A and B are shown apart, each in its own frame.
Chain A
């Protein structure tokens, strides 16, 4: 399982989840798809309100006062930063927030209508 994909998905979920803690929209859903070229396929569909509860539950474990957010070995992000970033994204409205390719990965994060947030991570086959 590609750690980078997981970390990216986790960042995106945190981003949206922490936003949900600020502004929960009833019946909003988050959809996460991760396709590893030769590995795992992950499909997550969760009501935003449930993500909000999960974020609150997990807060003690993933948010460290001294080190910020603990995702893998990265400790350089604060919850407040995530919330600010989310607020900016939210104001942008219905749009594709992130779309990118690198050598082995295609990432898309977009909002569809008022209720669906989508995170897609596709790994291309090697070589």
Chain B
């Protein structure tokens, strides 16, 4: 009986171990009357992606193929640059800021009072995207992107608020 219990517990403990040691992507979606919070352990996501159908394993992005050689250079230049405000546009009630903080490129856009977008782009993720891009098939391997996110220094990746609705994606 003890043996059977141990055998039953083993997969759960293994999954638990993966989850415990993994960075967690916390997706928090809210509307005016519903709130959904989905924690996604990145290590587990990588394992799941390995068994997922090709549509989930590979994302086709032919648009970036021509720009790929430049991305590495942009990451390199941004890494070398000091932390600073790169672009700021104030136009009526709209305010957009792009700045570099550590190894993260941060975009903040406020449209009057009730619309707000905050996006942090870890430079490691951009570099990983370039590595994960297959020029023959013009696809990105998603499991390598999740791997890159684990190493990302940023805790807050995306924060969008539009009136009563919002999406927030954070790393834990």
Please give the residue numbers on chain A whose beta carbons come within 8 Å of chain B beta carbons, in ascending order: 1, 39-47, 49-50, 53, 56-57, 60
CB distance from A115 to the nearest CB of B (A): 12
Asked whether, in the complex, the Cβ of A53 is within 8 Å of the Cβ of B77, the reply is yes
A41 to B85, CA, bound (A): 14
A117 to B73, CA, bound (A): 22
B residues less than 8 Å from A49 (CB atoms): 77, 80
- Asked if residues B81 and A50 are in contact (CB atoms below 8 Å), the reply is yes
Contact A53 B70 (CB under 8 A): yes
Q: Within the complex, what minimum Cβ distance (angstroms) separates A45 from chain B?
A: 6
Within 71-119 of B, Cβ neighbours of A (below 8 Å) are at 73-74, 77-78, 80-81, 84-92
Q: Is B51 an interface residue (CB 8 A)?
A: no
Per-residue A-contact encoding for B38-81, CB less than 8 Å = 1, 0 else = 00000000000000000000000000001100100110011011
Asked whether B70 lies within 8 Å of A42 as measured between CB atoms, the reply is no
Q: Is the CB of A46 within 8 A of B86?
A: yes
- 14 A-B interface contacts by CB (under 8 A): A39-B91, A40-B90, A41-B89, A41-B90, A43-B87, A43-B88, A44-B87, A45-B84, A45-B87, A47-B77, A53-B77, A57-B67, A57-B70, A60-B66
Nearest A-chain residue to B67, judged by Cβ: A57
Known: A39-B91, A40-B91, A50-B81. A45 touches B70 (CB 8 A): no
